[in-house]
Amino acid sequence: MSISLYRAPWLDRLWWVLVFGLALSPFLFIVYGVLGNTLGPDPAEVLMHQTGEWAIRLLVLVLTARPLARWGWPALFRYRRMLGLFMFFYATLHLLVFAQVYVGWSLEILLEELLERPYVMVGFAGWVFLVPLALTSTNGMRRRLRQRWRQLHQLVYVVAVLGVLHVLWLSRSDIGDAVLYGFLLGGLLCWRLWQVSKRRLAARS
């Protein structure tokens, strides 16, 4: 079943600006907080929390776009690539804050953190898997890679699993967010597996 995307040019441009502005607004609020010194007594913790939260929220939106399109709501699907790049942007900010505040750009300390703290390991692994997805997000790369592009971008589901583990290990006693994201991303992963199974069964029949 193909996903139909009706485009009215002026309306499409308007929605593009709106979605871009909404996706960028958390970063602008973060910058405003840093410049105005309004992030509270522990600004590093606030920066880590906000950048990580927005990365995983955008991940949920990216993975929700396809099933919504299948169910007759294609609008979000048009901006999936933009949202995916913003997800990578916030995930990278999350990593940079960690590198600046908690590691001090020391490779030795980074290796210690990776080995001693599982949540750092899975978080860093998730970011590493995001890098090739961001680099191959252009139309040109999609044409060059062809079928391999689709296979490569299935890594987003690996990122989703790692993201949930990262939040879960960080949550300690308060696991509400981890349960919520686990439920949402787990449901989206199950839906994707169901779609793949349906296609394989249809191909065999």
Place of tokens 């989206």: 188
> What is the structure's pLDDT at 36?
92
> What is the structure's pLDDT at 59?
95
> What is the structure's pLDDT at 173?
63
> What is the structure's pLDDT at 73?
84
Which of 43-47, 82-86, 193-197 is most confident? 82-86
Band of pLDDT at residue 2, cut at 50, 70 and 90: very low
pLDDT digits (tens, 9 = 90+) for 60-110: 999 999 889 888 888 888 899 999 999 999 999 999 999 998 888 988 888
Please provide the distance, in angstroms rounded to a whole number, between the alpha carbons at the two ends of the chain: 17
Band of pLDDT at residue 8, cut at 50, 70 and 90: low
- Is pLDDT of 111 > 80? yes
How far is 152 from 149, CA to CA, in rounded Å? Answer: 5
Pick from 52, 44, 179: nearest CA to 120: 52
The answer to whether 15 touches 78, Cβ cutoff 8 Å, is yes
Band of pLDDT at residue 128, cut at 50, 70 and 90: very high
Band of pLDDT at residue 4, cut at 50, 70 and 90: very low
Domain boundaries, the chain: 9-204
